[in-house]
Structure formats: structure tokens, C-alpha cells
A and B are shown apart, each in its own frame.
Chain A
Amino acid sequence: MLDRNAERGAGDAYPGYDVLAKWRGPSWNEKTREVVAARLQVGDTPQFLTAEEFEILAAVADRVVPQPCSRSPVPVAGLLDRKLRAGVLDGYRAKGLPRDGEAWRRGLRALDAEARARHDRGFAAITDADQDDLLRRCEAGELDAPEWAGMPSRTFFKHRLLRDIALAYYSHPTAWSEVGWGGPASPRGYVRLDFNDRDPWEAAEAKPGREADALRTNRNVR
């Protein structure tokens, strides 16, 4: 509970700021609207992974990028599933890692098997703390159930799991608003570049005791 409150407090660094409010403004060109509109259509259902794999992925994503319950969640698993379906690769593959789709399928099944071996339940059904513990072991390369089939758990964690989940979450406008980024900016761009300089179409940061000012300003960002 404490954690959640802390998250919500810090989540209000840019109160009322919504990067999507600029959708019709001069910062969003047609191509940007097209690709972001497609992304906003992505739901939390799998098209590449099986339902079982997808449930495990959603549970993993919740631990890597925990989201506040005060807003609609970013469908991290859905976004990642679409990338795997499209076959978009990074351009390099560490020795020992299969191609992305196969690496994810194998890694998710292996994490699930590790959970069952320790807790008699699948990864999605164990507690948050037990999930974190398994992920830390994965990060340290300590997991070696037969389901890994030679794929080093540490390599999978750093090159696939962490990277892909972080990229998926921060590809979403909700996450852009959360960090106070200006977002798409073509063709308008920016004018005020110096320290503490803010263009009227950028997020206003809440200063202690003056949160209401930031909220009012951010509601006028277009």
C-alpha cells in the first residue's frame, strides 16, 4: 500500500499533462498520427503467443514496469506480442539466444517451470515477492531448468526480457505523459532550449506547494 501511494505521488510530477492533447496540433504530423493510432488500438490479447504464454508475459511485465491503478494500464504484453508477430528484430543476437519469438516462448515457459518447481504454481499465480525473487535469479543467471534448453537465463533477461518490456512500455503515450516528455514534435519542434526553459506546448513540472499551477498549465497544453 505504501509503495502504491509513493508511486501515485511521484506520478503527479506533471499533473494533468496528456501528450495526446496535442494530437491535432502542429506537433503531430500525419505519419505520426497514423502509427500512434495503430498502437492505441492494441489490446491485451495475444496474436503471436499462446494464451498461457501471454498470461506469464503479462505477469512478468507487471513486475518490470509496475503501473498505478489510478489510470488505464498500458497493454505492455499486447504491444510486445505485436512486435514479435511483426518479426521486428534488434539487428543483433547474442550467441546462445535464438531469434526473438523463439527466445520469448522458451524463456516464458522456463520461468513458468521454475515457478512450478519451487511453488507448485505457475509464474502468474505466485506472489509478487516470489515473482521478483525468480526474476532476480534469472537476472543473475541462476536459473537452469531443462526448459531453458541451453539458453542462458541471464542473457535472456538482459537482452530480451528487460529490453523488450522497457521498450514496449515507453512506446506508449501514457508513459510519455508520465515522464513529462514533449512527445511527437514535427513540424513544430521547440524554441526555448535553456535550463528551466519551457515552451507553452511542453509539460509543466509540479513544484512543491504549487501543484495546482502545473495542473492548470498542463490543461492548456495543445
Chain B
Amino acid sequence: MSDDGRHSPRARDGRAPDVFRPGGWVSMKEYSDHEAVDFVIVGTGAGGATLACKLAEYGFSVVALDAGPYFRPLEDFASDESEQTKLYWTDDRIVDGDNPLQLGSNNSGKAVGGSTVHFAMVSLRFRPEWFKARTKLGYGADWPIDWREMWAYYTEVEQALKISGPVNYPWGPPRPRYPYRAHPLNAAARALARGCEALGIGWTETPLATLSAPRGLAHPCVYRGFCVTGCSTNAKQSALVTWIPRALSAGAEIRDLAMVGRIETDANGLAVGVHYHRQDKWRFQRARNVVVAGYAIETPRLLLNSATDKFPSGLANSSGLVGKNLMAQANQAVWGEMDEEVRSYKGPPSLAITEHWNYEDDGKDFFGGYAYMSQGPLPQLWANTQATAHGLWGARLVQEMKRYNHVVGLKIVGEMLPQENNRVTLADERDQYGLRIPRVTYSWCDNDRRLIDHSIAFMSRALSAIHAKNIWVQEDDTCHLNGTARMGDRPDSSVVNADCRSWDIPNLWICDGSVFPTVGGANPSLTIQAIACRTADRIRALSRLGEVNLN
């Protein structure tokens, strides 16, 4: 096998991989471990990469570490589901509870760029009321941020990623026109549209972070359909090809294959840097501020693994809430078969969407909402779905798989409520770095079940209305992970404030999906990036007031 960055770090010696040129390099500023930088950022996904870029552009010194490799998609990515599992976080984790989560493929990433390297690119704004879910809608918790402020940051991210989307978005308050035109619909998306029209609800082309026109050195999408296994043509506007190159240009350093195991705190209770494993050695990077951006499992794991005598229950945890209120999103599907050939493997998997049940509250017997989207599973994913979710094996499995090109499916991204019992804790077993592995406990509540039942009944009607046959329901699936270090207005009921700054340690920040108090029924990546942009602006503003540790 050729070296694809998985065995030794690429970003060193003053250079980092050029993601736009096979074998290419770009120059990179480097800091020594003992030189305290303004910000060391743990994780380079939607939260960490965005923040690294913005802080570097504002003139701060930044080192961002990622446990995964630094890929060049043009030469490192195969059109192959098995090979591309190299993008996932597949380190050992225990799952339990009444509804154990499936982790790895669709809700984690271990690469520079994090899970945006293999996300489905669905780029949605939250419904404004969700930022005040407790006050306005009667469930969950309020965010300490106003939706109008978020609206401006959403616009910034949509421009930064050149989101392709419809001319007019059917739901919510007005938003600017999407920077790039919408992609054409494939048959799977047309099936969604037909179903919505038959049932009298709205639908639209999905706003996607993949190019519909050229952009710099990146080409438009060629509709090869391997989006969730990594885009090999750079049409996908992942953090790896957007925020990271910008961060490097602005003077940030990126360190790949660098696994952070512990945040060091001093006698004053301030963070002083991070211990990280790279090139077979534990190293220590000094920093004036530490930002944790490891997503909803690794973030609480690192905070808990960093416990000291002064902070015996882990860092930033005086509220006892670190690791709690883990929220997946419901990801149930209804599948059927059309007489026509669908061949849903062509194009991004979710080209059409309806957010009707995110914005319509009448007729619901549950709190929260859901979107549903068209689907395009590749054969291994589809076989695993038929085997483990549909329960097929033997001749029935092989026969059913031969109907692959006629399959059509609708799948939700559904809101699940925050519950303290859904949580990340530390198991006694240890991983390859010698660190205690996470235990992830998850159980649905009655409201979750009612939302799921509603969505399944509605999507079943939608598929029946377009004369799909052999309709069946995939009942047990979840996606996206948020909420294990929630933001709020009070130190006793949240882990960080609206600026993503921890209440307990003023130079420790958390910037990823962990800070979500609620998740809504929309994919979280755009919101994570919008919050990172806001956090960067707040850090700049606070630093001008002398309220950020920079000495």
C-alpha cells in the first residue's frame, strides 16, 4: 500500500500537504512545544478547524492537533467503502443503555477535517425558535444565544463553503440567496418530491456543501455518489479543503496523528497546555488557552481523563454535567421499491429534503421536529442495512440485494431530547494510547419514540403515495452526536457560557457540537461552524478588553 498519511505525520518540517495537488506541499508556520501559543486547539473538525482559521486570521498564534491523518483526497481516497473506513473514528468504545448507539461510520471522524471529510454535506440552519426551545416551545433548554445573531453567522459559513441551494428556501425567516445554484435532482430526490406533493407538503433542493460550479482549484461535483466515504475530487467543501488551508495561510500550525490524552492545569486552576502522543512519544504543548473540539464523545472523555486533585471529577465539571445530556438524532428510514430504475447511488445521497415537520407544530403529539431526506446507500451500507435492520440473510438477502437499483428510501434527522442519563463516562479498559476508553450510554425517552412513530407513519404514507412496493421500516438508527458540554447562562446548569468558555477554567474553551443544549431536527454541521465563527469574534472582542489570557 502506498503511504497515505496514516503511518507517519505529514505536517512537519515547515510544510503541510497541499490538498489541491497530488504530492503537493504548502508552507506552514511551526511552533516548538515549549513555546506557549495563544491557543492550542484539540480537534480539526467543524468546530476546531473553523475556530483555528478565524483565530489565526485575527492574529493569534494557533496550533491545532488532530488524532487522525492529513489526507490529500485527490490521491488518497479510493472509490471503495471498505478502504474509506479509514476516515472514521474506530477506536474501541463501549455502547450500552436501552438503545445502544452505533458509532464509527456516520457520526465520527479521525482525520484532519474531522467528520466533515465524510459528512453528507447537508447544510441547514436551525429553526429560530429552537434557540429558545424551553421558553417558546416548552421542552429541553434555552440557548444563551439569540437566533438573529446566529442568522448572520450562518450567512458567513454559507459563503465560506459556497453552499449550493435553492433560490428560495421554503421555511423560516428570509435568508440570503445561496452562493451557488442547487444541484440537479436524481431519481431518489424526485421520489421524495413526488411524495411530498402527493401529501400536500413542501420540499426543496437540499442546501449542500458541495460545489455546483468551479471554485479556485476545486471542481464541481461529478455526482459519483461516494460522498459519505470521502470526496476524491474535492467538490465537497469539508473543513480539510476550506478552513484548514485558510488557517495555514494565516499562520496556524496543524499537527496530524497527534492524539491529546490530557489537559494540564496548574496550581491556580488554569490550563497550561496539552499532553499529546505523536511519533511514538508523549509530548507537551504549552499554551495560554486550550480549546477542546473533539466532538460529543472525545470532548467529555478528554475533560474526564484530565482530572486532578484540584478537579477530581474532571475539568470544567463543577456542574457535574460534563458527559451528560448526550443527544443523538433519530435516523429512522422507510424503504421501498419502485418499478422504475432509481439507481440512487448517483449524486449526493440527499439531494431533496422536506423540513415541513420542523416548522409545523400542529398535529404533533411530541416535542421537537424532524426533517427527512432522500437516500443513496452504496452496496455495503445497503447490505448491512438489509442484514442487520431488515433481518435478512441467506437466499432472501442475496435476492433482495439484486433489487438494489430499484430501491427508494426516506430517512429522518430527528430531534431527540436532552436527558442526563444519556451520557459519556469512562470505562476501565484502555486504548492503544493507554487512555481509558469511553462508555456511551443511550436510551430513548417516550417523546423520542413518539417523534419516531410519527415520522415512520408519515414517510410510509409518502412512499405508498408514489406507489412504492415492499415498503419496510428501519427502526433502529441514529446519527450526529451533540450535547455533552452544554452552553448556558448559569455555571450550575451548564459547562460553558455563550462564548464557549468554561465556567470553571477561564482559559479553557469548548467549541464543537458538545455545547448544544438541544439538537433540533437538522444536521448540526452548519450550526457548529456558525458557533465557531461567533466564538472567534467573541474571543477577539474579549481580548481587546483584556479578558483573555494572553500573557
Contacts and interface: CB of A to CB of B under 8 A. Distances in A.
Contacts of A63: 393-394
Interface residues of B, number: 71
B92 to A, nearest CB: 6
A91 B93 contact: yes
Contact of A89 (B90, B224, B382, B399): B90
B383 interface: yes
Contacts of A88: 85, 90
Contacts of B88: 91
A65 interface: yes
A38 interface: yes
B93 A66 contact: no
Q: Looking at chain A, what size class is its interface with the partner chain?
A: 35 or more
Given A92-B104, A92-B440, A190-B224, A176 B398 contact: no
B187 A166 contact: no
Contacts of A135: 393
Contact of B401 (A90, A158, A179, A186): A179
Contact of A185 (B79, B85, B95): B79
A167 interface: yes
A34 B83 CA distance: 10
A185 B226 contact: yes
B187 A89 contact: no
Interface string B381-400: 01110111001011101110
Interface string B162-184: 00000000000000000000001
Interface stretch (A101-109, A111-119, A193-201, A210-218): A193-201
A179 B184 contact: no
Contacts of A66: 394-395, 398
Interface string B206-224: 0000000000000001111
Contacts of B394: 63-66, 132
B19 to A, nearest CB: 15
B96 interface: yes
B102 A205 contact: no
> Dominant SS at the A interface?
loop
A51 B510 CA distance: 50
B2 interface: yes
A59 to B, nearest CB: 13
Nearest to A176: B379
A27 B82 CA distance: 17
B340 interface: yes
Contacts of B4: 31
Interface string B364-381: 000000000000001110
Given A166-B386, A195-B340, A195-B341, A185 B93 contact: no
A167 B383 contact: yes
B402 A179 contact: yes
Contacts of B95: 92-95
B345 A93 contact: no
Given A31-B76, A92-B440, A99-B92, A167 B398 contact: no
Contacts of A89: 90-92, 104
Interface string B319-363: 000000000000000000010111101110000000000000000
Contact of A32 (B78, B108, B223, B347): B78
B464 interface: no
A170 B379 contact: yes
A48 interface: no
A21 B432 CA distance: 41
B341 A205 contact: yes
A169 interface: yes
A34 B394 CA distance: 31
B81 interface: yes
Contacts of A165: 387
A208 interface: no
Nearest to B77: A31
Interface in A1-47: 3, 7, 10-11, 13, 27-32, 34-36, 38-39
A91 B398 contact: no
Contacts of B46: none
Task: Specify which of A63, A99, A179, A188 lies most central, judged by the most chain B CB atoms within 10 Å of its CB.
Answer: A179
Contacts of A181: 345, 378-379, 404-405
A170 B341 contact: no
A203 B382 CA distance: 18
B277 interface: no
B395 A163 contact: no
Interface string A75-94: 00000000000001111111
Ranked 6 nearest A-B pairs via Cβ: A91-B104, A189-B222, A184-B79, A185-B224, A92-B103, A193-B186
Given A31-B75, A31-B76, A91-B104, 4 more contacts: A10-B399, A93-B92, A175-B379, A196-B187
13 contacts: A88-B90, A89-B104, A91-B103, A91-B105, A92-B103, A93-B95, A159-B388, A167-B380, A170-B380, A180-B405, A190-B222, A195-B340, A205-B405
